[in-house]
Amino acid sequence: MILRRVEPYRLLLFTLAVSMSPVCASGGEPGANDPLKRAGFFGAQVGPLTDKARQEQKLKEGGGTLVMKVIPGSTAEEAGFQAGDVITAVDDSQTPGPAQFVAALSGRKGGDKARLTFVRGGQSNTKAVTIKPRPRETGNADFDVIYDSVPSRGGRLRTIVTRPKASGKKHPVFFLIQGLGGFSVENIPGHPTFYPPIYEDFARRGYVTLRVDKPGQGDSEGGPTRDVDFETELDGYRQALKAVVSYDFVDKDRVFIFGHSMGGVMAPLLAAERPVKGIAAYGTASKTWYEYMLETTRRQMALDGIPASEIDDALRKDAAINHALYAEGRSPEEVVKAHPELGPRIDQLIADGKYFAGRHYKFFHQLAGKNLAAAWEKFDGHALALWGKADFVSTEADHALIAEIVNKAHPGHGTFIAMDGIDHGFGRAASQDESRKSLGRAGRFNTDIVTTLRDWVAKVDGQATRAQ
């Protein structure tokens, strides 16, 4: 039996050398001289072409991207697009599905032009549009939002900082580092992430919060994100951390990092270079990448109901592939050339001969060379390892190991908590099986993650913060 292709996000933990300039070279307000051009905002939720839409639009052949919802105030609304329209091309690029449509508009900035071909009422139309810039996040009575940027190996990157309204004192920092996927951490209308309830809670409680978009995401330069390697992405977080502690309203001795998924891998590597007071890691890995890959593949294939004998056959091949890719540093093409019998399995795992889980194999080459245990041993702050019992992407053992490593090096500094009813993306789920079967349709946000983080940070910080 030929095993089905493993969708990239199903096996993921997770969907730089430059001289730095000061964050505010003129000495003015943060972000006042930000050179980044605003990303474009088409503003429509899109999906694959359904049989019903094909019939309604009288499309007998070919593909297209279905407009499911138009966001008020967006380019799509201003240009007159409607739910039910089928977009078939952007400029001269065909869009047989949502991925191609997103790729065709990727990198467009506010003010850029595009020509969209679409079908409505069975008739093909072409419309020239001017892409509107994304609306910015706004603050409230508790905090302001600062759009700033930092130079990095991957280009200049967008940082989004919240600053408490309370003045006259320095504030602690809550730095959220996202998972592996190629997505923006900006809270964009119609395209919400699952992070706002977390960082907004800390923003309301008097913390400066920090996010940074990866190269190729949002307003950030560089990319495309899928070609960005591990060291380049890590440098983006490094430079953002360096920049935020330079703000005159930040207490640089009270910095906390929350790393989700791959962010929990990045966090101890950063803290090994620049000390922080605490790290909270959720849904992450602490063992070697080789171990993680074999363990997560077995677990997820078992959840999919694949017979144990077939899982063993797959893992024998995966062990050989992992050794060739990560220990020997070969490319997928070189592995297949040397071991043709591994070709079918590599085709299942790696898209276009380059990409695993939406990222270039070189990203994982560099990741595999990291000694995460050494980074956790060196970290002398406080560590919280959080694992959701419905998380099928990571393991309980990896999180317990983080606390064990930290406590051996610095007794009393490591804490491990296993949480009921929460999955990898903070959704409510009773079990790993339930989360696996509902992938992409996660249950509503489980606020326990916010409460647990808040209580731990307050305890480690040792200073009262404003109530919500």
In this structure, the answer to whether residues 110 and 197 fall within a common structural domain is: no
Residue-wise pLDDT tens digits, 341-399? 999 999 999 999 999 999 999 999 999 999 999 999 999 999 999 999 999 999 999 99
Residue-wise pLDDT tens digits, 55-93? 888 887 778 999 999 999 899 999 999 999 999 999 988
In this structure, the answer to whether residues 374 and 393 fall within a common structural domain is: yes
In this structure, the answer to whether residues 322 and 207 fall within a common structural domain is: yes
For range 152-176, the mean pLDDT? 94
> How many structural domains compose the chain?
2
Domain stops at, among 100, 133, 166: 133
In this structure, the answer to whether residues 226 and 156 fall within a common structural domain is: yes
Residue-wise pLDDT tens digits, 411-462? 999 999 999 999 999 999 999 999 998 875 667 999 999 999 999 999 999 8
Domain range for residue 111? 40-133
> How far is Cα 413 from Cα 263, in angstroms, rounded to an integer?
20
In this structure, the answer to whether residues 227 and 247 fall within a common structural domain is: yes
Domain stops at, among 84, 116, 133: 133
Model confidence pTM above 0.85: yes
Least confident of 6-10, 188-192, 223-227, 267-271: 6-10
The torsion defined by the Cα of 391, 393, 398 and 399, in degrees rounded to 10, comes to -40
Please provide the DSSP assignment of 146-175 as one string: EEEEE--TTS-EEEEEEEES--SS-EEEEE
pLDDT value of residue 107: 81
Residue-wise pLDDT tens digits, 235-273? 999 999 999 999 999 999 999 999 999 999 999 999 999
Residue-wise pLDDT tens digits, 393-402? 999 999 999 9
pLDDT value of residue 32: 67
In this structure, the answer to whether residues 174 and 300 fall within a common structural domain is: yes
Q: What share of the chain is helix, strand, coil (3-state, %, to 5)?
A: 35, 25, 45
In this structure, the answer to whether residues 55 and 201 fall within a common structural domain is: no
Give the chain's mean pLDDT: 90
Domain stops at, among 133, 167, 185: 133
Q: Is 44 within 8 Å of 80 (Cβ atoms)?
A: no
Residue-wise pLDDT tens digits, 313-347? 999 999 999 999 999 999 999 999 999 999 999 99
